[in-house]
């Protein structure tokens, strides 16, 4: 067998003097189409192995317990001594469990939520035991998007969802990425596209087609038939595709590879019915099925491309978060992403408003309550200068908070779990506290955005109601005066 002439320590780069016969001896046979299936099967077995390490005996992911120290430090703002006194004085409350005699008490998140509700009802009114949520307003939808891969899009969405759940919000996560990474994080099981968001989009098109068919019948024209796919979708609602997770207050609409079929099916539907507003499909179905009343916050993880699924997620969202790394290539790509967002949505507005003006109807326009780019996986020692340049050019759109990269991120990724699912006993308290600081700060920055958006909506609603009252009073007075003028 031929051998490479290059030797270590020869002073030459390793790409010199590579022997072709030695290279050939190391080469496997050519790969055909079936070879991809074999590779995919191997990856599937490995994925199942890694995923199973975080599952219980029933093959389900199980959320860890939370200690008294963790609860009083991160979840319920009371001193440990007071926390214990309250539990002792209220034996009907969850009392937790100890792994050793006289050891620390541990609680499920369900129990933590019950304890938080008790403190909110009976505790000091000066403390925020439960998060701010205006009554009578719908859930806020948050899309996390960027067509540059590797920027931490899915992990950012997942950790924000977990943070919001720990804070006491009821959360829905919608995975629109056919890779299904978000679904894996939350232990979702999705057999085919009928357990994804696809039936909701199909139902929206089916509703449009039925209404259009009625107009056709009224004109004496033949209706367009609903095929088997649309007929099946017409029987489904969001409740049919929402599944629970190992988090008691996080639900999921999952994804899997077949969801990508929507990218081909949606334009076919659009060509058949040019008046179908495909970008409203997800929004309208979530609203019609009561989802926006059942949850506080909805996080939408979008594919790393500006396709039809991403357009639906972005059009549905109130808040748009764009994770970006502090590198030239990611900064450049993110700028092009915003340019493409402008082109895409401006084109939709132009087409819709051209027809609206011709028919004398009100024009439409897309609007987001807030848009923020967030620097992720930040290394202050290496990226400080570039981050400063990005801040100067992006202004307030770039969040001043930067999510640092920590060792805790890597370990959580290896275990197919989130940072908040890590047991601090796998480290030590100080290491764990430092590791989660960056994620707590990321959530704090997001929560300020969320609360500001909600408060603005609340004040706008109060102003509208205040304007309506005088009008109603004026109408009543005017009606009474008219009655007085009218002869009996």
* Mean pLDDT (10-residue bins), the chain, 488 residues: 55 86 88 85 77 65 91 93 94 91 88 94 84 94 87 88 96 96 92 96 96 90 90 96 96 95 94 92 96 97 92 95 90 91 94 88 92 87 88 90 69 61 80 82 93 95 84 58 48
Pairing of strands 250-253, 243-244: antiparallel
What pLDDT, on a 0 to 100 scale, did the predictor assign at position 128?
A: 83
> Burial, 204: exposed, middle or buried (Cβ in 10 Å; 0-12, 13-18, 19+)?
buried
- As a whole number of angstroms, the distance between CA 168 and CA 434 comes to 23
What pLDDT, on a 0 to 100 scale, did the predictor assign at position 59?
A: 66
E strands within 116-207? 140-144, 171-175
What pLDDT, on a 0 to 100 scale, did the predictor assign at position 483?
A: 55
What pLDDT, on a 0 to 100 scale, did the predictor assign at position 432?
A: 80
What pLDDT, on a 0 to 100 scale, did the predictor assign at position 470?
A: 67
What pLDDT, on a 0 to 100 scale, did the predictor assign at position 168?
A: 95
Q: How many Cα atoms sit within 13 Å of 459 on the Cβ side?
A: 5
What pLDDT, on a 0 to 100 scale, did the predictor assign at position 425?
A: 82
The CA-based dihedral angle spanning residues 73, 77, 81, 84, taken in that order and rounded to the nearest 10 degrees: -100
- In three-state secondary structure terms, 242 is coil
User: Which DSSP helix (H) or strand (E) runs through 299?
Assistant: strand 297-301
What pLDDT, on a 0 to 100 scale, did the predictor assign at position 7?
A: 59
Q: Which of 100, 102, 105 is nearest to 115 (CA)?
A: 105
- What are the residues whose beta carbons fall under 8 Å from the beta carbon of 225, sequence distance 6 or more? none
For the chain, the distance separating the N- and C-terminal CA atoms, rounded to the nearest angstrom, is: 118
E strands within 163-249? 171-175, 243-244
- What are the residues whose beta carbons fall under 8 Å from the beta carbon of 15, sequence distance 6 or more? none
Neighbours of 302 (CB within 10 A): 27
What pLDDT, on a 0 to 100 scale, did the predictor assign at position 369?
A: 95
The CA radius of gyration of the chain, in Å to the nearest whole number, is 28
């Amino acid at each position: 067998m031929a051998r490479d002439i290059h030797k270590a320590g020869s002073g030459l780069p390793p790409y010199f003097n590579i022997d072709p016969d030695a290279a050939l001896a190391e080469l496997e046979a050519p790969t055909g189409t079936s070879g991809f299936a074999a590779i995919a099967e191997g990856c599937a077995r490995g994925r199942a192995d890694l995923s199973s390490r975080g599952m219980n005996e029933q093959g389900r992911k199980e959320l860890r317990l939370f200690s008294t120290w963790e609860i009083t430090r991160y979840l319920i703002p009371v001193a440990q001594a007071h926390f214990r006194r309250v539990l002792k004085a209220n034996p009907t409350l969850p009392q937790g469990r100890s792994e050793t005699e006289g050891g620390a008490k541990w609680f499920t998140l369900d129990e933590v939520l019950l304890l938080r509700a008790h403190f909110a009802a009976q505790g000091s009114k000066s403390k925020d035991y439960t998060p701010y949520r205006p009554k009578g307003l719908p859930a806020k939808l948050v899309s996390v998007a960027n067509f540059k891969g590797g920027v931490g899009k899915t992990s950012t969405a997942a950790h924000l969802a977990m943070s919001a759940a720990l804070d006491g919000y009821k959360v829905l996560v919608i995975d629109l990425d056919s890779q299904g990474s978000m679904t894996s994080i939350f232990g979702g099981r999705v057999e085919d596209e009928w357990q994804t968001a696809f039936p909701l989009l199909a139902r929206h098109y089916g509703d449009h087609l039925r209404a259009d068919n009625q107009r056709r019948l009224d004109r004496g024209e033949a209706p367009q038939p609903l095929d088997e796919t649309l007929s099946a979708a017409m029987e489904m609602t969001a409740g049919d595709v929402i599944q629970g997770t190992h988090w008691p207050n996080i639900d999921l609409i999952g994804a899997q590879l077949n969801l990508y079929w929507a990218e081909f099916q949606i334009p076919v539907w659009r060509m058949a019915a040019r008046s179908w507003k495909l970008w409203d499909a997800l929004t309208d179905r979530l609203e019609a099925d009561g989802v926006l009343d059942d949850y506080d916050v909805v996080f939408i993880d979008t594919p790393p491309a500006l396709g039809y699924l991403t357009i639906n997620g972005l059009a549905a969202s109130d808040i748009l978060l764009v994770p970006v790394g502090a590198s030239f290539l990611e900064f450049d790509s993110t700028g092009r992403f915003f340019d493409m967002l402008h082109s895409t949505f401006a084109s939709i507005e132009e087409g819709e408003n051209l027809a609206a003006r011709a028919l004398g109807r009100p024009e439409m326009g897309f609007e987001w309550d807030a848009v923020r780019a967030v620097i992720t996986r930040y290394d202050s020692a290496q990226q400080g200068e570039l981050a400063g340049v990005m801040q100067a050019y992006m202004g307030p759109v770039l969040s001043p908070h930067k999510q640092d990269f920590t060792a805790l991120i890597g370990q959580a990724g290896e275990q197919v779990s989130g940072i908040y699912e890590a047991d601090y006993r796998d480290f030590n308290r100080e290491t764990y506290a430092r590791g989660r600081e960056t994620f707590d700060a990321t959530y704090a920055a997001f929560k300020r955005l969320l609360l500001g958006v909600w408060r603005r909506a609340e004040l706008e609603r109060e102003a509208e109601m205040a304007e309506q009252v005088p009008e109603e009073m004026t109408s009543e007075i005017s009606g009474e005066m008219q009655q007085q003028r009218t002869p009996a």
